Chain A
């Protein structure tokens, strides 16, 4: 692919409502490689930019199952196979006593998978990202809302996309150098 010096075009909005509307319009106008930035989570925004596949719950489920199984099997192996000792006449495989640690291990693994799975799927940590080249983008963590159309989008062309974004009445438009 030809490397373009421009990463995309970014439009700035004042309110979450304006951003969601703009994102919906952009997506339905045929731009698929877009993203939106907001200072807090906006439920409608993911849908608006066409993001549907959220794999975090699956990762957490797998982590939890792995944690529970490894917790139980560890106790079984230790108490019944590797180091069998008689405690109060209880059977070596005294499963009711193993439930607490199994439960804690399930939560531990599921929780760790939730955090690190989310970070990995989001591609974080990411030391450099082109959107930060736009000075106004510092307000994306305060009170401004941004929409970007990536230059890799099939429909992207510098002037046409800019005039399309102008039609959405943003507060400002900036070119994002890559």
Chain B
């Protein structure tokens, strides 16, 4: 069995959980991070900085409420700009969490048990960050609820043939299901924290959230089937969400958008960037909290391999786009490719190829895959690359479409940057709070990984 394999070094696959752990040590190690570990200065500083960035986001939003989206760089012909770039980027990042928690559960990849909890939290916060952008971008954000079908005195309804309305349903369903999935996974661990907490307030709060969970066999049986069904529901959901996001583009007739490869290429790109974010979070977290026993070399390597695979699908997408520009015989598509290669944004297109396709190929080298620092850097490159991909798709397609008379340029303003950086701050601020007050690794699922959890036949 893998669990007994002693050392992670060369040749052999590292174990999912370091040897020597028992039910008690797993429980103590993870719950003590929340319950007894003193909050360090590093945490306060990190949280403080991110909190300030969140305040900057609120400031940028407040100013937008007063002045309108004219403060952003968007205008005709580029009406989508940063708002949609960032929206697609954040939603994509969220996808890895659901992939890890749902799809890998269905595929019985038990190594996922130590990273699914914080990956799900990442999904939630990323989707929350994503949701801000379309909400602001509607122009009158205080009327954003008009997107939902509800009976109203104006006697009007949404237009269900529009992919933008589909997106509202897809993203709000995605957020709801991710939240439920995350919460249902937390219930048994909240019960553990309730029973382990010394502090009266902590006992009460975790107790209320655990809702009286007592680990009865009947409860577990229903729990397991609910969890599995939810995973089965979340799997097509996560694939549908980025598919619908890609429909926002593909259903239109803009060159570079009107293509059938968008759905699979968007989903692969989403998982690509999501795993990059998982690694960027996991590598510092395991180091700072000493969780190398649970988030082992194996997890990092597997995530790197998923990145490599999805990155190649993305590369295939880029190649097909270029090929169809040439082979399709549509002069506007051909011009789009020419414009990407030679137009005013060409530098970003070259960077895109470097960040998403060329540099990540170093992950083929096992030595580099097993160095957390290298993985961290490659992940950062991929996140930049995936952001550039959305920038190329949104801006370069829009700024020169059919008529030369309507060509234009797009430049983000400082408010665009403040909003974008602000959402990164909000995301990390939420992550800081999460690792401090909730178990960042699923304790009960880690227990099931131990050899002693198996019921031996008589």
B-contacting residues of A (Cβ < 8 Å)? Answer: 15-17, 20-21, 23, 35-46, 48-49, 51, 54-57, 60, 64, 74-75, 78-79, 82-83, 85, 87-88, 90, 94, 97-98, 100-101, 103-105, 107-108, 110-112, 114-115, 117-119, 121-122, 124-129, 131-132, 137-143
By the criterion CB–CB under 8 Å, are A83 and B215 in contact?
Answer: no
A-contacting residues of B (Cβ < 8 Å)? Answer: 22-24, 27, 149, 155-163, 165-166, 169-170, 173, 176-177, 180-181, 183-184, 188, 191-192, 194-196, 211-226, 229-230, 233-234, 236-237, 240, 244, 247, 444-445, 447-448, 452-456, 458
Q: Decide yes or no: A97 and B455 within 8 Å by CB, A114-B230, A143-B27 being known contacts.
A: no
Residues of B within 8 Å of A121, CB to CB, are: 222
By the criterion CB–CB under 8 Å, are B222 and A122 in contact?
Answer: yes
Q: Of the candidates B192, B215, B222, which one forms a contact with A118 in the assembled complex, judged by CB atoms under 8 Å apart?
A: B222
The chain A residue sitting closest to B170, CB to CB, is: A104
Q: Decide yes or no: A138 and B211 within 8 Å by CB, A39-B447, A51-B218 being known contacts.
A: no
Residues of A within 8 Å of B163, CB to CB, are: 100
Residues of A within 8 Å of B180, CB to CB, are: 111-112, 114-115
Q: Decide yes or no: A142 and B212 within 8 Å by CB, A39-B447, A42-B220, A83-B156 being known contacts.
A: no
How far is B143's CA from A126's CA once the two chains are assembled, in angstroms?
39
> Please, could you name 21 A-B residue pairs with CB atoms under 8 Å apart, sorted by A?
A35-B216, A36-B216, A37-B215, A40-B444, A40-B453, A43-B224, A55-B222, A64-B233, A79-B160, A83-B155, A101-B166, A104-B166, A107-B234, A112-B180, A114-B230, A115-B180, A119-B211, A122-B222, A124-B211, A131-B214, A141-B191
Residues of A within 8 Å of B219, CB to CB, are: 122, 124
Residues of B within 8 Å of A74, CB to CB, are: 149
Residues of B within 8 Å of A104, CB to CB, are: 166, 169-170, 173, 237, 240
Residues of B within 8 Å of A35, CB to CB, are: 216-218
Top 8 A-B residue pairs of the complex, sorted by shortest distance between their CB atoms: A143-B23, A125-B211, A118-B226, A126-B212, A46-B221, A45-B217, A41-B220, A100-B166
Name the residue among A49, A54, A97, A142 with the largest chain B CB count within 10 angstroms: A142
By the criterion CB–CB under 8 Å, are B214 and A118 in contact?
Answer: no
How far is B226's CA from A55's CA once the two chains are assembled, in angstroms?
10
By the criterion CB–CB under 8 Å, are B217 and A49 in contact?
Answer: yes
Name the residue among B161, B184, B216 with the largest chain A CB count within 10 angstroms: B216
Task: Return B450 CB to nearest CB of chain A, in Å.
Answer: 9
How far is B221's CA from A45's CA once the two chains are assembled, in angstroms?
9
By the criterion CB–CB under 8 Å, are B27 and A124 in contact?
Answer: no
Residues of B within 8 Å of A138, CB to CB, are: 195-196
Task: Return A102 CB to nearest CB of chain B, in Å.
Answer: 9
Residues of A within 8 Å of B233, CB to CB, are: 60, 64, 107, 110-111, 114
How far is B128's CA from A43's CA once the two chains are assembled, in angstroms?
36
Residues of A within 8 Å of B176, CB to CB, are: 108, 111-112
How far is B188's CA from A106's CA once the two chains are assembled, in angstroms?
27
How far is B229's CA from A64's CA once the two chains are assembled, in angstroms?
11
Task: Return B77 CB to nearest CB of chain A, in Å.
Answer: 22
How far is B165's CA from A94's CA once the two chains are assembled, in angstroms?
15
By the criterion CB–CB under 8 Å, are A78 and B161 in contact?
Answer: no
How far is B218's CA from A35's CA once the two chains are assembled, in angstroms?
8
Residues of A within 8 Å of B192, CB to CB, are: 39, 141-142
Task: Return A70 CB to nearest CB of chain B, in Å.
Answer: 11
Q: Of the candidates B22, B226, B455, which one forms a contact with A114 in the assembled complex, judged by CB atoms under 8 Å apart?
A: B226
By the criterion CB–CB under 8 Å, are B170 and A100 in contact?
Answer: yes
By the criterion CB–CB under 8 Å, are A90 and B173 in contact?
Answer: no
Residues of A within 8 Å of B23, CB to CB, are: 39, 142-143
